[in-house]
Amino acid sequence: MFNLKEISQAVISGDGVKVKDLCGKALDAGVKAEEIVKDGLIAGMNVIGTRFKAREIFIPEVLMAAQALYSGLELVRPLLAESGASQLGKCVIGTVKGDVHDIGKNLVIMMLEGAGFEVVDAGIDVTPEKFVQLVKEHKPQVLGLSALLTTTMPVMKETIAALKEAGLRGSVKVIIGGAPVTQVFADTIGADAYAADATVGVDRIRELLGAN
């Protein structure tokens, strides 16, 4: 019997090399990819999430664990059954047009990857048209929009309008974030969710997808 707790522990200690190695051994021992993800990788990351919320550990430790998880996930993902892969969820995320700040968006991407999501990084200064194109192409369940400047916040509204126009609004949940953004603003422009920081963002996206 392969002990998946070892994988969790390696994720918790942020040891990517060990995580990858253990995932390989688990597969060799005949453990299902879905089980490795759920009871090994994600279980470890859940411990990290709890500790982070309790302020026992901080962002660098979370990111190390997230990266460790990701190195295991890369190995396992191709073997996931179609249903298993889609359960994890796919997100497209980018900083809206006129805004070139990306550290917040990058933080969200790393946290999402650490939570097992597949993430398409749309980059910075992304036009509404480009977001529409990416949604068509990648068919994500979630689209994340980021803005640091108050002057670029209206582009979030324009992007949602462009999705509607392209008939894609019903197929994708839109979540917004960034320092000046608020829940009130999210409600005003018809976004599905708002998150104040990267970890809350992961929680909100899980809620949007009805996962826990």
Give the span between the Cα atoms of 121 and 155, in whole angstroms.
18
- Which of these segments, 32-40, 52-60, 79-87, 202-210, binds other proteins (CB under 8 A)? 52-60
* 34, 121, 197, 203: residue in contact with other proteins (rule CB under 8 A): 197
Site string for other proteins, 72-111 (x = CB under 8 A): ------------------------------xx--xx--x-
Strand segments (E) across 72-169: 90-96, 118-126, 142-146
Q: Does 11 bind other proteins (CB under 8 A)?
A: no
Q: How far is the CB of 72 from other proteins (least distance, A)?
A: 16
Give the span between the Cα atoms of 62 and 44, in whole angstroms.
11
Q: How far apart, in Å, do the first and last CA atoms of the chain sit?
A: 27
Residues 6+ apart with CB under 8 A from 202: 49, 108, 111, 112, 115, 117
Q: Does 46 bind other proteins (CB under 8 A)?
A: no
Q: How far is the CB of 35 from other proteins (least distance, A)?
A: 27
CB-based contact 10:19 (threshold 8 Å):
yes
- Which of these segments, 33-41, 58-66, 141-149, 202-210, binds other proteins (CB under 8 A)? 58-66
Q: How far is the CB of 36 from other proteins (least distance, A)?
A: 23
Give the span between the Cα atoms of 183 and 193, in whole angstroms.
8
Q: How far is the CB of 164 from other proteins (least distance, A)?
A: 27
In the structure encoding, which two tokens stand for residue 131, read together?
């977001």
User: What is the binding site for other proteins (CB under 8 A)?
Assistant: 14, 58-61, 63-64, 67, 102-103, 106-107, 110, 183, 196-197
